[in-house]
Amino acid sequence: MSFPGNRSELPGGIRRLRFPHAAPSRSTLKLEEAWHEFVPRDQWDDRLAEGMQAADLGAAPGGWTWQLVARGMNVFAIDNGPMDKALMASGLVEHLREDGFVWQPPERLDWLVCDIVDKPSRVTAMVQRWLVQRWCREAVFNLKLPMKRRWEEVSRCLSGLEASLSEAGVRAEIRCRHLYHDREEVTVHVRLLD
């Protein structure tokens, strides 16, 4: 039984997305689901627009980059691993074999996405640097949670991020969800407000 006004609009609360067969990995659905969750559909044409600039840290083989390219964005794909050849043939992707924790964009970008498997605190600190420097307008990143005390870990990361942004005078909206396509991880979305 569910009550009107207190239930998901989705059947069973699950956002079922069709796997795009040209995408190089199933991870692609995590970023698509994140956009459905965090960006209202009527804002996609402004906030996920053709010609925007994005960086994908930990990009290989390219499932997340595929989503950015499908929206017509230019993407810096940062990963030592190989990227999908068909995706590279789009001409919209620059593959850089660099360390995502130290790489800096050559100019301000629209989107940062990051799916690197590392300590949540390390990933959060890196994204925090991007946001404090205003290197991107919006970010989607995953916090991988193989540890036992997951809630504590996520809370520590998010409250630290919020405090640092506020200390730096950066106004931002921070949201975090455990998505249907997430496994032992959660997805965080941050949008700078000015």
Ligand X SMILES: C[S@@+](CC[C@H](N)C(=O)[O-])C[C@H]1O[C@@H](n2cnc3c(N)ncnc32)[C@H](O)[C@@H]1O
Q: Specify whether the CB–CB gap between 92 and 50 falls below 8 A.
A: no
Q: How far is the CB of 75 from ligand X (least distance, A)?
A: 12
Task: Give residues with Cβ within 8 angstroms of 113, minimum separation 6.
Answer: 31, 54, 55, 56, 57, 64, 68, 139, 140, 141
Closest approach of Cβ 6 to ligand X, in Å? 34
Kindly tell me which of 126 and 172 has the beta carbon lying closer to ligand X: 126
Q: Which residue has the tokens 């409250």?
A: 159
Which one from 30, 85, 119, 144 is the annotated catalytic residue?
Answer: 144
Please state the closest distance from residue 24 (CB atom) to ligand X, in A: 6
What is the Cα gyration radius of the chain? 16
The residue of the chain with the least Cβ separation from ligand X equals 63
CB nearer ligand X, residue 78 or residue 127? 78
Helix axes 150-167, 120-132, angle to 10 degrees: 20
Distance of CA 21 to the CA centre of its chain: 21
The site for ligand X (CB under 6 A) is made up of 24-25, 27-28, 57-64, 78-81, 99-101, 115-117
Q: Which is nearer to ligand X, 25 or 164 (CB)?
A: 25
Indicate if 144 belongs to the active site: yes
Catalytic residue list: 144
